[in-house]
């Protein structure tokens, strides 16, 4: 008996990976915050036995976290492109694409600073070269693409201004601060000077972009009232460009002798102090303001969210900035400030890491946003 040919079955839909559907680019903040603990700890002014080994271990953890997140985000883009596109078109999520750049740069800088103790200097330099190059390209693209999307595709109201807007803008500043670590490993002459001045150019890109954006954020805070409770920790993000720029000018002064003419090298040394001191002063003022807002939000019921990682990397940049000022001024007060801020950084990282691990185990942090009763499920992912 001959039977009719069966119709071909439709193509199987692409396999879903539900665990990564709501894994947004904000998760790279975990890598940034972990890497800065190791990098900043290696530069503390007072020698503590065993501290450098601990810092190298923390850096190794950040490298593992980066690898895991890159793999998970690749799965996200492969299996949940609708959600990935939704992130790009969400003004609350798109700025977090700057975190990818900063995660790559933070781990790369840590490779040269402490990672060489474990993997050797040649391997550390090679790893940093790859991560620095990739992170810089991603950061420069994000610094242009995200503001462009906000202008032409997003619909942003003045009252929605938040420190999260700074994330893609500060990424080139991280490149400026990390890039000088590679200068001594380049051939003398044109190569070294080109990289150093490229870092100075990225310093300018980030600084000027921050200077035109920060007044909008500060004005919204003063005229629009406190941020929503879950976003309150993002006030610490303002410390990022402040501490990282102070770190950058200190790095310029460290590597400039013999790379650029003596007159320019002396100018970098002067800039490290004359720029770093007032900016650090403003950073400390903002730190006090941000802490006051966080204390208020906590009293009003602010719970844990991924925005708590804002307490880590930005504070870490202030640690490295204070370390730079301690080197170039010789003042003990900056040594003390470095140690104090590092203690705050370690405490903040420990709390954020433990709460994040708990949220992963329970599944809360990878769950989608909960719609209100009777409301349609939102198309965009939670970013906090």
Counting DSSP H helices and E strands in the chain, the numbers are 12, 0
Helical ranges in 44-185 per DSSP H: 51-79, 81-88, 97-110, 116-119, 121-152, 167-178
CA atoms within 13 A on the CB side of 63: 22
Query: How far, CA to CA in Å, does 224 sit from each of 5, 167, 293?
Result: 68, 21, 14
* pLDDT score at 20: 77
Here the tokens at position 292 are 């006051």
In 3D, which of 228, 239, 323 has the Cα closest to residue 287? 239
Query: What is the per-residue pLDDT for 158?
Result: 72
Q: Structure pTM?
A: 0.89
Structure tokens at 146: 């995200």
For the chain, give the longest Cα–Cα distance: 97
Residue 64, pLDDT score = 97
Q: Write down the pLDDT at residue 5.
A: 43
Encode the chain (384 residues) as per-residue pLDDT tens digits: 344 444 444 444 445 556 778 788 999 999 999 999 999 999 998 888 899 999 999 999 999 999 999 999 988 888 888 887 888 888 888 899 999 999 999 999 999 999 999 999 999 999 999 999 999 999 999 999 999 998 888 777 777 889 999 999 999 999 999 999 999 999 999 999 999 999 999 999 999 999 999 999 999 999 988 999 999 999 999 999 999 999 999 999 999 999 999 999 999 999 999 999 999 999 999 999 999 999 999 999 999 999 999 999 999 999 999 999 999 999 999 999 999 999 999 999 999 999 999 999 888 887 766 544 444 444 444 444
With beta carbons less than 8 A apart as the criterion, state whether 179 and 132 touch: yes
- The answer to whether 111 and 128 have CB atoms below 8 angstroms apart is yes
171 near 100, Cβ under 8 Å? no
Q: Which long-range contacts (CB under 8 A, 24 or more apart) does 293-299 make?
A: 293/226, 293/227, 293/232, 293/235, 294/232, 294/233, 294/235, 294/236, 296/226, 296/232, 297/226, 297/227, 297/229, 297/232
């Amino acid at each position: 008996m001959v039977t009719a040919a069966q119709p071909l079955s439709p193509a199987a839909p692409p396999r879903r990976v539900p665990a990564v559907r709501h894994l947004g680019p904000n998760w790279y903040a975990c890598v940034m915050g972990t890497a800065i603990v190791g990098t900043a700890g290696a530069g503390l002014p007072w020698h503590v036995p065993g501290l450098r080994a601990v810092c190298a271990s923390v850096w190794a953890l950040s490298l593992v976290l980066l690898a895991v997140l890159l793999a998970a985000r690749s799965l996200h883009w492969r299996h949940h492109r609708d959600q990935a596109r939704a992130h790009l078109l969400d003004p609350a999520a798109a700025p977090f694409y700057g975190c990818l750049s900063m995660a790559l740069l933070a781990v790369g800088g840590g490779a040269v600073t402490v990672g060489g103790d474990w993997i050797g200097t040649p391997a550390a330099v090679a790893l940093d070269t790859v991560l620095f190059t990739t992170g810089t390209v991603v950061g420069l693209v994000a610094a242009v693409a995200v503001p462009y999307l906000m202008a032409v595709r997003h619909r942003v109201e003045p009252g929605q201004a938040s420190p999260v807007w700074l994330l893609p803008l500060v990424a080139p500043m991280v490149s400026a601060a990390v890039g000088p670590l590679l200068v001594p490993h380049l051939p003398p002459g044109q190569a070294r000077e080109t990289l150093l001045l490229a870092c100075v150019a990225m310093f300018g890109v980030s600084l000027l972009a921050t200077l035109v954006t920060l007044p909008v954020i500060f004005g919204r805070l003063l005229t629009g009232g406190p941020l929503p409770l879950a976003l309150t920790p993002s006030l610490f993000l303002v410390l990022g460009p402040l501490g990282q720029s102070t770190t950058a000018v200190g790095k310029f002064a460290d590597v400039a002798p013999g790379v650029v003419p003596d007159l320019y090298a002396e100018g970098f040394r002067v800039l490290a102090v004359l720029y770093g001191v007032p900016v650090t002063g403003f950073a400390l003022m903002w730190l006090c303001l941000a802490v006051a807002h966080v204390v208020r939000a906590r009293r009003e019921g602010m719970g844990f969210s991924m925005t708590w990682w804002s307490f880590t990397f930005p504070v870490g940049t202030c640690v490295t900035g204070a370390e730079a000022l301690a080197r170039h001024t010789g003042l003990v007060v900056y040594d003390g400030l470095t140690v104090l801020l590092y203690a705050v950084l370690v405490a903040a990282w420990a709390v954020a890491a433990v709460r994040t691990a708990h949220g992963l185990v329970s599944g809360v942090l990878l769950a989608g946003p909960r719609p209100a009763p009777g409301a349609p499920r939102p198309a965009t992912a939670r970013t906090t």
